[in-house]
Amino acid sequence: MLWPHCFNNGTEIIFAYKPFEWKNSAKDNAGVYCVIVGLGIISKSPKKIFSDTHIRIVKSISPYLVEGESKAVIKVSRPLFDLPIAMKGNGVYDGGYFMFTPEEKKDLISEFPRSSKFLKKVTGSKEFISNTERWCIWINKNDLSEAKSIPFIDKRIEKVKKWRENSGETAQAYANVPYRFKGINKAKRNLMIIPAVSACSRDYIPMGFLDAETIVTDLAFMILDPDIYVFSILNSSLHQLWVRTVTGRLGDGYRYSLGVCYNSFPTPVFSESDKNELRLSALNILEAREKHSDKNLFQLYSKGKMPEDLLIAHIENDKLVERIYGYSGFTEDQLLENLFAIYFTEQERCNA
């Protein structure tokens, strides 16, 4: 990582130009965004942050190009603040042999009716956002004998076994349990899914809820049996701002990271009154989505195409979250400066 190396060797950011779109004389520009950063020897001299409209004089510049300390957000394995545990979805490592289209699932049940017991809906980030239906074989250990009595499923298990035996170390480690995914985490009531990648053009990462019987792959993240108020927090513009600032990109999308985006996201300790307001706001967003159930999340959250009632529900949620944080009326820079101040204070406390 660049910044720790720079900061640990006596340098700091002395000026920075905020992100701007790079354009040239070509007919079709690639949509590349750039920043300009100047490094110098640590000093008490004022620093400058440039944008398209003004110059800001500050004491120090953080690696996120706002006023703040010369420190970077560090990946952590558990939430530092008032959020529940989130996890990666279930690793598959099946060579594709556990997966089915709706048509393949229908044909399988038609030939082997008992197989329906071992088929569950499955989704990753792409399927969730596009509302694409997929199915998978899901077998509990206690039901293995019954599942293997179905010839088609027994053959698929054998194919998974051979595929894992001839693959990398991780897959080989699970060749002795070829009837199941690498991960076997399921919710009791429901789960919240967080896409691992989302287009930068969206104002909000389209998260949502799934029933406990739906399997989430490791191409997305999930929170098992969450309180609905968490949905309000994570679907706020404040959280989106944090994600845009601290995470990396994959192509034209943000790459969500549990260690940096979620576990490090600063929150206050929410009172029960706060949680009740957040729960109601979350329901308003979900109800607005439901009114447009003929559209998938890709369509609902495309830039400039959000239905008015859904957009209003999100804007009201943004206002609520910022009020609970005590940040009403803050600029983006002020929001980030306050979030980073909370984060680094907690990080220092944890390291003490």
Task: Give strand pairing partners of 191.
Answer: 210, 224
Whether residue 72 is predicted with pLDDT greater than 90 in this model: the reply is: no
- For 219-271, how does the pLDDT look when each residue is reduced to its tens digit (9 = 90+)? 999 999 999 999 999 999 999 999 999 987 666 778 899 999 999 999 999 99
State how far the Cα of 327 lies from the Cα of 339, in Å rounded to an integer: 10
> What's the rounded mean pLDDT across residues 91-120?
97
Label each residue of 108-169 as H, E or C. HHHHCHHHHHHEEEEECHHHHHHCCCCEEECCCHHHHHHHHCCHHHHHHHHHHHHHHHCCCH
- For 273-303, how does the pLDDT look when each residue is reduced to its tens digit (9 = 90+)? 999 999 999 999 999 999 999 999 999 999 8
Q: What is the pTM of this model?
A: 0.89
State how far the Cα of 105 lies from the Cα of 241, in Å rounded to an integer: 41
DSSP code of residue 332: H
